[in-house]
A = this chain, B = another copy of it.
């Protein structure tokens, strides 16, 4: 059984420079369990209604919703959980204000750029000067030791999901062009359920991110429909499950059952070489622009005659993105950003032809001072085999 840490901490000190930069006195974040930055800050698996996080004078406080106090105390790595009784509990914004009022401070609040209008309005009506910033996303970019270990564990378990898919494909039979498995036509939906069940047994949640395309639908980057899988066509699997504490895995592989055609072979070769080229660039480690990776991927694909950018055939997406408590976060490899020690990013070259199929291969790497570490040991073979991990 894959084990995960029961608790994880947050480096609240990273909020300090943001406060200084904006000449602000406190950081306040109001949101619900669907807000991934709030989850990062609180490590609290709350409900679908508002709660609040306040950072002021070096103290991190969580104001949990009704009847979530016990859970908050179990999960929150900060300093204080506000345990106001349910019967006396005003809305989250008011409770945040109560925390602020206990402090000696100025009147400037820093809120995330994604803050709700009603939250901003409420603080302004109370006389606070509210400043919004998207720099809060920056503090998540460089992963701590704890986060890196957690991401490794989640990515390991994600590989178990892929192994289940590959095993099903390898044990499928071909009947008149179509694949059959356990006496039924094998569809992308059956494969998706098998993958999600394997992920669940390993403590992960498919989270609606188990993308499986077959043939033409591989060119649709987010295919979640039901296709009968055919012999000779590409089967593209991109798994992006959510694990404990809201940390994500991300892994793509592509298989062909039966005879591998010329296009499929060429596409797979191009994408494999693009991935190797990206690893060459990562060898140089931290300090270089992320766009070097994107450029190298484009070069390798071009050698096989595949275009990149806003095209209909070729590669029409970024080469990778940061991953952590969001599936997609900074740095984006297509952006003008520097790779830093402790960044964890996906690398996912792919080529697509909407008239026939698509190939994508994706690993996750951690950027180190003088190189990189690949979190993925999963083989890259176009013909599926039965696998146990």
Surface stretch bound by B, among A168-176, A222-230, A355-363: A222-230
Counted per complex, copies of this chain come to: 2
Q: Is A148 an interface residue (CB 8 A)?
A: no
A193-B201, A205-B205, A222-B68 are contacts. A48–B36 as well, Cβ < 8 Å?
Answer: yes
Instruction: Say whether chain A's binding surface is mostly helix, strand, loop, or mixed.
Output: loop
Instruction: Write the nearest CB–CB distance from A225 to chain B, whole angstroms.
Output: 7
Surface stretch bound by B, among A99-107, A113-121, A252-260, A375-383: A113-121
Q: Is A97 an interface residue (CB 8 A)?
A: no
**A197 and B200 alpha carbons, distance in the complex (Å):** 5
CB of A190 within 8 A of CB of B1, answer yes
Residues on B with beta carbons closer than 8 Å to the beta carbon of A196 = 200-201, 205
CB of B116 within 8 A of CB of A47, answer no
CB of A205 within 8 A of CB of B208, answer yes
B-facing residues in A187-227 (Cβ within 8 Å): 189-190, 193-194, 196-203, 205-208, 220-226
B-facing residues in A2-24 (Cβ within 8 Å): 6
**A10 and B206 alpha carbons, distance in the complex (Å):** 26
B-facing residues in A177-191 (Cβ within 8 Å): 189-190
CB of B71 within 8 A of CB of A220, answer yes
Q: Which 3 A-B pairs have the closest CB atoms?
A: A196-B200, A34-B34, A87-B310
